[in-house]
Structure 1
Amino acid sequence: MVDKKSETLGSIPKGSTLDKINVDLILNAVATILQSQIMEDQASSKIIAPGSDVFFFSEEKYILEKPDAFDKVRIALLRESPSVENIFEFMKALYECAQFSPECCIISLVYINRMIAFTEMPLQPTNWRPLALCSLLVAQKVWDDRYLSNADFAFIYPFFVTEEINKLEQKFLELIQYNVTVKSNLYAKYYFELRGLFKDNEKEFPLQQINRQDAELLEQRSREYKDIFEGEGQKAKKKANSTFGQLTTKNIWD
């Protein structure tokens, strides 16, 4: 699917054509970092208050809202602390369908950490999947010239319907204050952190650091998408407020 907005932005040439094994290594590195953060947050006993903005990303919210859709076995599985392999398998499923560029893995980590920094939200067994989904969805829009629609992601992760993914994406962008900008030095920091996981590995980290031209273009595109996302968010709020106003008026006169 070709995104119309990408036609107005600079096109980023992709220099990393990676085979299946290499992509697996990158995804496994990302899974390792996420799993480590989940374990750290669980040890600190941080909680997410029901009804809070960050509770929006907890699968617990949807379990409460759709009690008939979840049996005890499924709920227990959702609440299990994920292993690195669990996280890897989820991200691999997203990759195999979305075919996002491997660089999106790094950008998505930037966004997840930005969310944590802005909201102090802990990573938990029931929120890492929605966060991984949203961060990759946004990262692919920023970096790739082609990306899947939100409806496609709903097909990949059927826990959510398309409308819910649209709302998740909008809430994700709101909570990171539409700051999807990724500067070259920040990208490099995350790149070397991932690569550092391979220093004792027999295999070398397969992804090369992006060159100067691509780094500058990433900064440009991410700045432009910040404006695009913010504009779309304002339109969505106006539409929601307009709809609420109509409903309120109707209720008054009914």
Structure 2
Amino acid sequence: MAEANPSDHPRASTLFLNKSQTDVREKRKSNYMNHTSPGLLTKKYSSCSTIFIDDSTVSQPNLKSTIKCVALAIYYHIKNRDSNRSLDIFDEKKHPLSREKVPDDYSVVDPEHKLIYRFIRTLFSSAQLTAECAIVTLVYLERLLTYAEMDICPCNWKRIVLGAILLASKVWDDQAVWNVDYCQILKDITVEDMNEMERHFLELLQFNINVPASVYAKYYFDLRSLADDNNLSFPLEPLSNKRAQKLEAISRLCEDKYKDLSKSAMRRSISADNLVGIKNAQAVLS
């Protein structure tokens, strides 16, 4: 199981991207059969007068776009799930997040992408979490599903997402958001419930909260692929003079670092050649 787990190994395909491919292929087939375009092209192209750049990077992702993509990944997880395996601790009927009555069809009606996005956005906005935290949230969510051999479905998605966000915010962000802080956001949930859910989440993860840089990068780029497949574009901003000067300064800094590294490597190479020459000379004299 460990070798095939995408949340642990950088070469294993992410679950959410695999889940989305069925829908993507159907959309492309439908567009081809009906001779329709996939939609309006909203991508901006550079010109002689204006250059557009994508400010979202693997180290500093765009917050809004990343949350949208994570919500879409969860949407595909729910929509294309294999079954409805769950645990009581994540069941919203048994552990409601609000005092409002849980609908009778809560376990059979799949949530729309917009609903999932609003739920995540509210938590991230209120707790002032970062885009990197959203990516780690998705890593923990997929790790939970594989380790615990369960599915994210209509009856449990909110509590699973909440548990993953809670854990990711504590592990990733420098200023952790504590359980009592989430109780201020979700007014009707108790600290005891949050603590119990967090304990179960950690146990089901086998206390494996490490996210290698290679795994994080894979999830980031797969989320970007998901965005492209679903016409969710990351924002492009025109290159201003101030931004251009900043990029030039960064490039010069990197160039200087590479020059220093190159000089160090050359010195080590020369030293090694000299050492080999000395040893050869000693061997001849002896």
Whether TM exceeds 0.5 here: the answer is yes
The answer on whether the counterparts of 1:100 and 1:147 sit within 8 Å (CA) in structure 2 is no
Matched, 1:28 2:56: no
The answer on whether the counterparts of 2:170 and 2:178 sit within 8 Å (CA) in structure 1 is no
Q: Partners of 2:92 and 2:173 in 1: how far apart?
A: 28
- 2:118 maps to 89
Q: 1:41-56 alignment to 2 at 5 Å?
A: 41=81, 44-48=82-86, 54-56=87-89
Letter in 1 for 2:172: W
- 2:150 maps to 121
Q: Which among 34, 59, 73 is matched to residue 92 of structure 2?
A: 59
Q: 1:189-204 alignment to 2 at 5 Å?
A: 189-199=218-228, 201=231, 203-204=233-234
Q: 1:139-154 alignment to 2 at 5 Å?
A: 139-154=168-183
Task: Report the more deviating stretch, 192-201 or 166-175.
Answer: 192-201
Q: Helix, strand or coil for the counterpart of 2:84?
A: coil
1:139-190 CA-partner distances (Å, limit 9, x unpaired): 1111111122101112222352111001100110011011000011111111
Q: 1:1-254 alignment to 2 at 5 Å?
A: 16=60, 22-41=62-81, 44-48=82-86, 54-62=87-95, 71=101, 74-76=102-104, 78-79=106-107, 80-199=109-228, 201=231, 203-204=233-234
TM-score, length basis structure 1: 0.63
Question: What displacement does 1:40 show?
Answer: 1.3
CA RMSD of aligned residues (A): 2.6
**Are residues 78 and 92 of structure 1, via their aligned partners in 2, closer, same or farther at CA, if it must alter by over 3 Å?**
farther
Aligned length: 177
Structure 1: state its 5+ residue gaps.
1-14, 49-53, 207-254
Q: Which has the larger radius of gyration?
A: 2
Q: Partners of 2:83 and 2:188 in 1: how far apart?
A: 26
Q: Partners of 1:159 and 1:45 in 2: how far apart?
A: 30
**Are residues 197 and 205 of structure 1, via their aligned partners in 2, closer, same or farther at CA, if it must alter by over 3 Å?**
farther
The answer on whether the counterparts of 2:63 and 2:130 sit within 8 Å (CA) in structure 1 is no
Structure 2: state its 5+ residue gaps.
1-58, 237-286
Question: What displacement does 1:61 show?
Answer: 2.0
Q: Partners of 1:205 and 1:55 in 2: how far apart?
A: 40
* Percent identical residues: 33
- Deviating above 6 A after TM superposition, structure 1's stretches of 4 or more consecutive aligned residues are none
- 2:48 maps to none
Letter in 1 for 2:234: E
**Are residues 202 and 161 of structure 1, via their aligned partners in 2, closer, same or farther at CA, if it must alter by over 3 Å?**
closer
Question: What displacement does 1:77 show?
Answer: 6.9
The answer on whether the counterparts of 1:81 and 1:125 sit within 8 Å (CA) in structure 2 is yes
